[in-house]
Structure 1
């Protein structure tokens, strides 16, 4: 954004429009939100046992949650092949408005608490004189609703790396937490976390505003300080909630929820920042080693200078990453079979090139292991359908036993040393020390038993297994539950990682299937459908290698207004780098092919070696079953939305 500001002048028309829209919101929309959020037609405010302004209704945040999730899903799909939108002026007004609104709210909350003689804790819910304080607490709840608009700007700017499950969950959880606080505890001690949260939001949005305008940021508002402010916010609010929960006179259910939210937010926040620092240290160490090698190079013989320069030139690494997907990992097995058939391997050892790696979590780790070890993914897949499926398809508690049987059968002792430098497995480590739940990546395996133990740990699903899996003097759960999955774990960007996902909702994936019912991951469909899903993965991998990555503007340029000459350099700076990164890793992947793949039409006419069915028929059967199940799910969702709207209208009429 700072680069855009330095190239293009601020557009006064857009600024005026954004300011006018904010004025309309403050003058009219805000009062409408208040009216439709309060249960009552004649009066905005009613007295209840929870205090004034406590008659907020459930349908409003529920509709906002559904609309928010639907917008994120639709927005990511809509913007995937489009250029980023220039929303600098709107973002500037939004950030300044957030600073002003949150600063004003923090000041009024503290002033009202001083006026009422409140201490930081130990205050009772005084229903007789807490009308103004309750109104301020309702504003805090409404500002958390307004904070959801931040995701809109992220999607329009195509900053997809920031659209993480952590981002979405935190915004929704904070909105719902303040809904329950206003609904059941609108007054008393609730003022303190509201004031702390508003002050912290004002500081954070001040940093955003100064960064956008490319202004000199004071030391107090540096990025590291912002992280410390947010960490202190979670810590202070958690301690306050714990005190009120133990010694206070407020509804304990609300403050227990607040305590859990603050602890969870703090853990995710700390783990997210530590993960970023760890990746920065890794990248710095890699660059340092590269510079050191370049410095030592002149000491070599002059006659072999050209050959040594070629050897010293670092190879660009490429990683095929398989996500966690439970039973949908049959899609991964099909992709793995295609890679096993077409990628170059050493004739003697069967190992892949040194610049090729594989990674995965949970079931995806099993697929990655089969490739890294030079195994036969088709044989493992057939074992899954023939033996594992009857064993735990309807009895998930036997999953650990089935996985162990498969690993002991397909992990020979001679293959362990081969996967040391080519496999990365994701785990969720749990401990009694903060941050309690952390992500851990394993890329070294000491023995066959150690390799089996690590793969069992990444498939140890919580809920199905109550006790964590003991491994390497630690305790672990499924890699799916790793909280660092809420951020892109593989690297800082996706330039050298080919993401293979079995879920169509993953917008960061390079290879993914059409829409599949999510419940197939937990409750597997019949074997014929799983076999069709296997061949869909095979087909999609073949398509990805055969087709060149398309530009983001492809197919959408006709409906886009023509850019003026003065906008072209700004759009070039502002545009996303997805196309360049995807083209780079596509070229790296094609360089690893031992031969060009056969045409897709011929591949689909082949017959399955086990059942004798035509591959195209299996794919068609799976896709039709998925489409039928998706239509049923859409009908149920539509019925649920209609029911919510009916309840909402009923609440308004009464």
Structure 2
């Protein structure tokens, strides 16, 4: 018992010391005081989409969520465009070099704008959990894959640390790219939700996956340059996290691309029987 109390006390002390290095500007923002509230949210999300939700829906008819999904997807498109603009104006088109861009911890308007944009991006990851919840409520359980759930779980968890300790600088490049990709991706989802009349406009699904792959190649290449030259980035551990993230998702999306398109399991029907309807998988 004494050993357990000592271990707990040491863990609390280490946690307190660790938080002393955090960015004081973001301390009082929603969900930023501690990583534990978001951990509970993420755990509840995983439990619902992997266990509770499918069990609740097992003997029920799928929900008709066409209208909510249209509104949701177009809203994400608009929000992603806004985030792209904010990331550009707070750094990436306004002073950043795409090289060793350090975090500006000052209270200047531009530095605070970047920090707030990082928080908005972080919070958007919780909103995007609705992707999976919609799948469960519509009984599209085949879409609830490891890749999907892992992506929606790990992003908010890692970005808490990004916003709390390193809200800006070169570590936000992948967020900018991700927002650009989301404009394209959620436009596709929104058009798909509009119904069969719009399926003929969705021939570019395969290329959307290619764009996602290019995103992870660019992320890995951007981070990779800092392992080959000196860069006094304030929290270099985040470079390793982002680099690992880029490589892991590059591998996972390559695996998806191979099974979905190279093996032809999810090719659009235009390539299978000559008509212009996509296989309905959303």
TM-score, normalisation: structure 1: 0.34
Structure 1: where are the runs of 5+ without partners? 1-46, 289-572, 574-654
Give the aligned CA root-mean-square deviation in angstroms. Answer: 2.6
State how 1:401-550 maps to structure 2 within 5 Å.
none
Residues 61 and 121 of structure 1, relative CA distance in 2, 3 Å threshold: farther
Q: Give the aligned partner of residue 478 of structure 1.
A: none
Q: How far apart, CA to CA, are the structure 2 residues paired with 1:151 and 1:282?
A: 19
Q: Which has the higher helix share?
A: 2
1:79–1:155 Cα contact (<8 Å) kept = yes
1:207–1:217 Cα contact (<8 Å) kept = no
Q: Is 1:53 matched up with 2:36?
A: no
Q: Is 1:224 matched up with 2:206?
A: yes
Q: Is 1:164 matched up with 2:145?
A: yes
1:202 aligns with one of 171, 174, 183? 183
**How far off is 1:49 after superposition?**
5.3
Q: Per the alignment, in what secondary structure is the counterpart of residue 25 of structure 2? A: coil
Q: Give the aligned partner of residue 40 of structure 2.
A: 63
Q: Give the aligned partner of residue 248 of structure 1.
A: 231
Q: Is 1:81 matched up with 2:63?
A: no
2:171–2:242 Cα contact (<8 Å) kept = no
State how 1:568-607 maps to structure 2 within 5 Å.
none
Q: Deviations over 1:499-546 (max 9, x none)?
A: xxxxxxxxxxxxxxxxxxxxxxxxxxxxxxxxxxxxxxxxxxxxxxxx
TM-score, normalisation: structure 2: 0.77
Residues 138 and 282 of structure 1, relative CA distance in 2, 3 Å threshold: closer
Q: Deviations over 1:422-479 (max 9, x none)?
A: xxxxxxxxxxxxxxxxxxxxxxxxxxxxxxxxxxxxxxxxxxxxxxxxxxxxxxxxxx
Q: Is 1:147 matched up with 2:128?
A: yes
Structure 2: where are the runs of 5+ without partners? 1-19, 273-279
2:259–2:265 Cα contact (<8 Å) kept = no
Q: Is 1:260 matched up with 2:238?
A: no
Q: How far apart, CA to CA, are the structure 2 residues paired with 1:94 and 1:123?
A: 34
Q: Is 1:237 matched up with 2:219?
A: yes
**How far off is 1:242 after superposition?**
2.0
Q: Deviations over 1:304-353 (max 9, x none)?
A: xxxxxxxxxxxxxxxxxxxxxxxxxxxxxxxxxxxxxxxxxxxxxxxxxx
Q: Deviations over 1:399-434 (max 9, x none)?
A: xxxxxxxxxxxxxxxxxxxxxxxxxxxxxxxxxxxx
**How far off is 1:61 after superposition?**
1.7
**How far off is 1:256 after superposition?**
0.5
**How far off is 1:279 after superposition?**
4.1
Q: Which has the higher strand share?
A: 1
Residues 106 and 275 of structure 1, relative CA distance in 2, 3 Å threshold: same
Q: How far apart, CA to CA, are the structure 2 residues paired with 1:261 and 1:282?
A: 26
Residues 174 and 114 of structure 1, relative CA distance in 2, 3 Å threshold: closer
Q: Is 1:98 matched up with 2:76?
A: yes
2:129–2:152 Cα contact (<8 Å) kept = yes
2:38–2:157 Cα contact (<8 Å) kept = yes
Q: Per the alignment, in what secondary structure is the counterpart of residue 264 of structure 2? A: helix
**How far off is 1:215 after superposition?**
2.5
**How far off is 1:216 after superposition?**
6.4
Q: Give the aligned partner of residue 122 of structure 1.
A: 100
Q: Give the aligned partner of residue 110 of structure 1.
A: 88
Residues 54 and 83 of structure 1, relative CA distance in 2, 3 Å threshold: same
Q: Per the alignment, in what secondary structure is the counterpart of residue 52 of structure 1? A: helix
Residues 165 and 92 of structure 1, relative CA distance in 2, 3 Å threshold: same
Q: How far apart, CA to CA, are the structure 2 residues paired with 1:60 and 1:243?
A: 35
| Larger RCO (alpha carbons 8 Å, 6+ apart) | 2
| Number of equivalenced pairs | 238
Q: Give the aligned partner of residue 335 of structure 1.
A: none
Residues 71 and 54 of structure 1, relative CA distance in 2, 3 Å threshold: same
Residues 49 and 180 of structure 1, relative CA distance in 2, 3 Å threshold: closer
Highest Rg: 1 or 2? 1
